[in-house]
């Protein structure tokens, strides 16, 4: 098991290094701009997360969702490798494959905030 924040942070650093080595800056900017809808939804989830954290700052929180802060590293690596093998063949090679990494990372951040928002909302409904 690995902390999900640590996993997201390390993968962002790794993705940034690989992008910097293999992709021109213009292509990296295009990849980020193509995910504007996901980034917008993630921003809304982040704002909701901050709002609920502020509302519940003095309350001891219960974990309604099991394994909220930890991810099984073995299954994460297996899912990643399966998706990479599929992407390598469907996206015309290595560059197409790594171009999807940012989308996967944004989905990971979105799921992180989504699950935490559910847990915080359940705490909010329980206490307030």
Alpha-carbon gap, residue 108 to 77, rounded angstroms: 13
* Mean pLDDT computed over 78-105: 89
The tens digit of pLDDT for each residue in 31-47 reads 999 999 999 999 999 99
Assign 4 to helix, strand or coil.
helix
Residue 11 pLDDT exceeds 90: yes
Residue 63 pLDDT exceeds 90: no
Alpha-carbon gap, residue 78 to 81, rounded angstroms: 5
Residue written as tokens 């902390």? 3
Sorted by sequence, the CB contacts under 8 Å of residue 116 that are 6+ apart come out as 49, 68
pLDDT of residue 1: 86
pLDDT of residue 26: 93
pTM listed for this prediction: 0.88
State the chain's mean pLDDT as an integer.
Answer: 91
- Surface-to-core class of residue 10, CB atoms within 10 Å of its CB (0-12 exposed, 13-18 middle, 19+ buried): exposed
CB of 67 closer than 8 Å to CB of 111 = no
- Surface-to-core class of residue 35, CB atoms within 10 Å of its CB (0-12 exposed, 13-18 middle, 19+ buried): middle
């Amino acid at each position: 098991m690995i902390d999900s924040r640590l996993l997201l942070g390390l993968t962002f650093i790794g993705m940034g290094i690989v992008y910097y080595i293999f992709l021109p800056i213009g292509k990296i900017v295009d990849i980020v701009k193509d995910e504007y809808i996901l980034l917008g939804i993630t921003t809304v989830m982040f704002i909701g997360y901050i709002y609920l954290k502020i509302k519940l700052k003095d309350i001891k929180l219960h974990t309604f969702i099991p394994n909220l802060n930890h991810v099984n590293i073995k299954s994460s690596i297996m899912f990643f490798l399966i998706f990479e093998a599929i992407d390598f063949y469907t996206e015309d090679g290595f560059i197409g494959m790594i171009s999807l990494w940012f989308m996967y990372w944004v989905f990971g951040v979105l799921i992180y905030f989504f699950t935490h928002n559910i847990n915080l909302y359940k705490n909010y409904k329980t206490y307030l």
